[in-house]
Amino acid sequence: MLEIKNLHARIADEGTEIIRGLNLTVKAGEVAAIMGPNGSGKSTLSYILAGREDYEVTEGEILFNGESILEMDPAERAASGIFLAFQYPMEIPGVATMEFLKVAMNAQRKARGEEPLKIPELLKRVKEASGALNIDMAMLKRPLNVGFSGGEKKRAEILQMQLLEPKLCVLDETDSGLDIDALKIVSDGVNALRSPDRAVVVITHYQRLLEHIVPDSVHVLYKGRIIKSGDKSLAMNLEENGYAGIIGEAA
């Protein structure tokens, strides 16, 4: 489903290369975990997948369902099924969360040539998904992410993910700032989306989340490159021994 080949990317303004020859393949139905120390380029990779303009791809290719997405803008990528749950979700003052959900869902439907959702149907879907994520309807009346606690922001991200039904879900440190109960709720939310025609990329620091969302593959990202791949035992190994050993091996 997702194929990243020899990707090189740099910060557009100043030219610092952050992704330096990254290769990664994620198949439909697969849950891939990406781990790596702070500053290794995990968030950058997720932004590049989503099409953020701050980064410039200088070499390599990103194929989504066999087609290059490099020329697409963020909205087109989203409409084609790529969803990014942000490490730091942005606040959008004055725009009620409910309103935002509606606009986003209908924009994607429109891009796919579907009719906009009728209000009752929309409400029904939002209510169902919110209930499972323990999101209060009152929260949806508030402007998106404005004044939300860390946990509320993360749950709002998963709510959007569920409602938009993407093909590729990229979760950037969705576990950070969550207490154990919230972690469980959020993981259940992600697990509910697991399906044979959907891929999930989970970016995390800790083994903790991977106990709830069990990955099919684990990749270690370091200095803009995947330096080791394995199965879930690799994550456990990292938990016990840290990154030092693997980094040493690769060097």
Partner 1 sequence: MPAVQETIDQVRLIDVDQYKYGFETSIEMDKAPKGLNEDIIRFISAKKDEPQWMLDWRLDAFERWKTQEEPDWARVDYPKIDFQDIYYYAAPKSTPGPTSLAEVDPELLRTYEKLGIPLREQEILAGVKKPGHEESEDGVLADSESQSANGGRRVAVDAVFDSVSVVTTFKKELAKAGVIFCSISEAIREYPDLVKKYLGSVVPQSDNYYATLNSAVFTDGSFVFVPKGVRCPMELSTYFRINEKNTGQFERTLIIAEEGAYVSYLEGCTAPQRDENQLHAAVVELVALDDAEIKYSTVQNWYPGDSQGKGGIYNFVTKRGDCRGDRSKISWTQVETGSAITWKYPSCILRGDDSRGEFYSIAVSNGYQQIDSGTKMLHLGKNTSSRIISKGIAAGFSQNTYRGQVSAHRKATNARNFTQCDSLLIGDQCGAHTVPYIEAKNATTQFEHEATTSKISDDQKFYVMQRGIPEEEAIALIVNGFVKDVIQELPMEFAVEAQKLIGISLEGSVG
Ligand X SMILES: Nc1ncnc2c1ncn2[C@@H]1O[C@H](COP(=O)(O)OP(=O)(O)O)[C@@H](O)[C@H]1O
Q: Which does 11 bind (CB under 5 to 8 A by kind): ligand X, partner 1, Mg ion, none?
A: ligand X
Within 13 Å and on the Cβ side, how many CA atoms surround 212? 20
Residues 17-36 that bind ligand X (CB under 6 A): 18, 36
Q: Which is nearer to partner 1, 164 or 220 (CB)?
A: 164
Contact status, residue 218 vs residue 200, Cβ threshold 8 Å? no
Q: Applying CB under 8 A, which residues contact partner 1? A: 50-54, 73-75, 77-79, 83-84, 86, 89-96, 99-100, 103-104, 106-108, 111, 116, 143, 160, 164
Residues 158-177 that bind ligand X (CB under 6 A): none
User: What phi and psi values does residue 117 have, to the nearest 5 degrees?
Assistant: -70, 140
Q: Does 42 bind ligand X (CB under 6 A)?
A: yes
Which residues are within 8 A (CB) of 62 and not within 5 positions of it... i.e. 6 or more apart?
A: 2, 3, 4, 5, 7, 48, 49, 68, 69, 70
To the nearest whole angstrom, how small is the minimum distance from the Cβ of residue 41 to Mg ion?
A: 9
To the nearest whole angstrom, how small is the minimum distance from the Cβ of residue 172 to partner 1?
A: 11
Q: Applying CB under 5 A, which residues contact Mg ion? A: 42-43, 87
Which residues are within 8 A (CB) of 113 and not within 5 positions of it... i.e. 6 or more apart?
A: none
Contact status, residue 93 vs residue 146, Cβ threshold 8 Å? yes
The one-character DSSP state at 102 is H
To the nearest whole angstrom, how small is the minimum distance from the Cβ of residue 124 to Mg ion?
A: 35
Q: Which does 53 bind (CB under 5 to 8 A by kind): ligand X, Mg ion, partner 1, none?
A: partner 1
Which residues are within 8 A (CB) of 201 and not within 5 positions of it... i.e. 6 or more apart?
A: 2, 26, 32, 33, 34, 46, 168, 169, 170, 171
Q: Which does 36 bind (CB under 5 to 8 A by kind): partner 1, Mg ion, ligand X, none?
A: ligand X
List the one residue from 6, 39, 111, 191 that touches ligand X (CB under 6 A): 39
To the nearest whole angstrom, how small is the minimum distance from the Cβ of residue 174 to partner 1?
A: 15
By rule CB under 6 A, what count of residues binds ligand X?
11
Q: Which is nearer to ligand X, 56 or 211 (CB)?
A: 56
> For residue 73, with 0-12 CB atoms within 10 Å meaning exposed, 13-18 middle and 19 or more buried, which class applies?
exposed
Closest CA to 135 of 117, 155, 113: 155
Q: Which is nearer to partner 1, 113 or 248 (CB)?
A: 113
Residue 124: CB atoms within 10 A of its CB come to 12
To the nearest whole angstrom, how small is the minimum distance from the Cβ of residue 243 to partner 1?
A: 29
List the one residue from 27, 54, 111, 214 that touches ligand X (CB under 6 A): 54
> For residue 64, with 0-12 CB atoms within 10 Å meaning exposed, 13-18 middle and 19 or more buried, which class applies?
buried
Residues that bind ligand X (CB under 6 A): 11, 18, 36, 38-44, 54
